[in-house]
Amino acid sequence: MTSQPTLTKAGSGPGDPGEPDGGLQAGLKNRHLSMIAIGGVIGAGLFVGSSSGIATAGPGILLSYALVGTMVVLVMRMLGEMSAANPTSGSFSAHADRALGRWAGFSIGWLYWFFWVVVLAIEATAGAVILESWIPAVPQWGWALIVMLVLTATNLVSVGSYGEFEFWFAGIKVVAIGAFIVIGGLAVFGVLPGVDSESAGLGNLTEHGGFLPNGPGAILTGILLVVFSFMGSEIATLAAGESENPQRAVTKSTNSIIWRIGVFYLGSILVVVTLLPWDSEAIQKDGSYVAALNSLGIPNAGEIMKFIVLTSVLSCLNSGLYTASRMAFSLGRRGDAPKSFARTTERGVPRTAIIASVVFGFVAVFFNYEFPDSVFLFLVNSSGAVALFVWLVICLSQLRMRKIIERETPEKLVARMWLYPYLTYATIGLIVFVLGYMLTDTEHDGRQTVLLSLLVAAIVIGISLVLEKVRRGKAASGRAADRDLTV
């Protein structure tokens, strides 16, 4: 652990503006970073998970999304402040290392890696289900294998190939959401040519039991159902280390997150709950977006949404593998993972880190098919609260890093957190409140998720403290040996 954390000085190492991080190469173009930042907030969970939130909170789910969105905006602003001052592939893990101590960077880095390699299995399986429905001749496990192998190959070629794939994956999501909002909005106001939807209208927000048909408490339950669909907003800060201008990329992505969440989350959900009554059976049966499209009489709405969800799944899988490997690379560089993780190819690709991440992903896929209700369920639940842990560590790191930046390199403080430190403390309080409320939730497995995630976090922190003690012992032995030699 470090008693006096310091920032990397300009020109002395990774993270300098305009320079790639260590052996990585600046292969991501501005258009790649822009689309990664936009696509990062649009996960498959938005398309497939919003129906349960609507059923729980009714139109009030908009408040759940707004509260979580506000929390994410504040957290990303804090991360943007730190990452603009010192862009690095380790992002918040590297910042925690400097601000809170090596144990914090080690722990949150490995927990984040664990989260994403489990996500690899979830997304590969989700994509395989869709592909098998189209081409049943290939078994579901075969499609999962194919999807994992193709995207692994993409990541192994170069960071530019990852960026290009993600550009198009994210582009499809953005266009689809944008078209959905425009078409749905026109239908709500009755000006969509050729469509006369009797169920559409702003009245759906207050009719059918009111705006909060299940009471104000349903807003909190809704938060638990939607909070994890926001995970991925931080990917742009990890990718910035491989861009042509990291500082500019980080600043731009964090500054634009307000409108991205406002448009893609609040905008699209608002369209859903105004096109259809919140208690429509179609929302639960077909999914919120498919039901909304069907209400407009759009042919093959289910297949269209399947394609959009598939691109979202592939995007998440692609970014998940990239993110996990870059976190493993950063941990390797800092001596918190095998040194081989920090080695890169001539193209600047951390091949060992990628392979290690995808191997664990394959193991998780195997568990999903062979032990879905035991081993895999444990993996999913024990990684479920990691998003909240990451956001909490970002807040705690920013409290210290602001003082360090102001003391050492104030010229790098180009993206300041608003109303520091008051909004930082408020965000910490909100995250702790959500975690506490999850402990009371037995209906949606919130309590089990938090407890298992805390168990895994405690194990990882314990390992970090033991390793730190071993390192200090070796350092002390080395100093003693040096003194003996001088005598």
Backbone angles phi, psi at 34, to 5 degrees: -60, -45
Residue 289 host element (H or E): helix 288-295
For residue 17, the model assigns a pLDDT of 40
Q: Among 450, 452, 299, which residue's Cα sits nearest to residue 374?
A: 452
3 state SS of 192: coil
Q: How many residues does the chain have?
A: 487
Exposed/middle/buried for 344, CB within 10 Å: 0-12, 13-18, 19+?
middle
DSSP 307-348: HHHHHHHHHHHHHHHHHHHHHHHHHHHTTSS-GGGG---TTS
In the numeric block, the tokens 């000006």 are attached to: 191
3 state SS of 18: coil
For residue 329, the model assigns a pLDDT of 93
> b/e per residue, 311-341, with b = 16+ CB within 10 A?
bbbbbbbbbbbbbbbbbbbbbbbbebbeeeb
Exposed/middle/buried for 23, CB within 10 Å: 0-12, 13-18, 19+?
middle
For residue 15, the model assigns a pLDDT of 39
For residue 253, the model assigns a pLDDT of 78
Q: Among 61, 123, 47, which residue's Cα sits nearest to residue 290?
A: 47
Tokens found for residue 479: 């100093």
For residue 196, the model assigns a pLDDT of 62
Mean pLDDT by 10 residues, the chain (487 residues): 37 40 73 76 74 91 93 92 86 92 94 92 90 93 93 90 88 89 89 74 90 91 85 81 78 81 90 92 88 86 86 88 92 93 90 94 91 87 89 96 93 91 96 92 86 94 92 75 62
Identity of residue 397: S
Cα(86)–Cα(405) distance, rounded to whole angstroms? 10
Global pTM value: 0.89
DSSP 362-423: HHHHHHHHH-TTTHHHHHHHHHTTHHHHHHHHHHHHHHHHHHHHHHH-GGG--SPPTTTTHH
Identity of residue 258: I
Contact 449, 381 (CB under 8 A): yes
Task: Tell me how many degrees the CA angle 418-423-427 measures, rounded to the nearest 5.
Answer: 130
Exposed/middle/buried for 168, CB within 10 Å: 0-12, 13-18, 19+?
middle
> b/e per residue, 428-444, with b = 16+ CB within 10 A?
bebbeebbebbeebeee
Query: What residues form DSSP beta bridges with 243?
Result: 28
End-to-end CA distance of the chain: 30
Query: What residues form DSSP beta bridges with 403?
Result: none
3 state SS of 243: strand
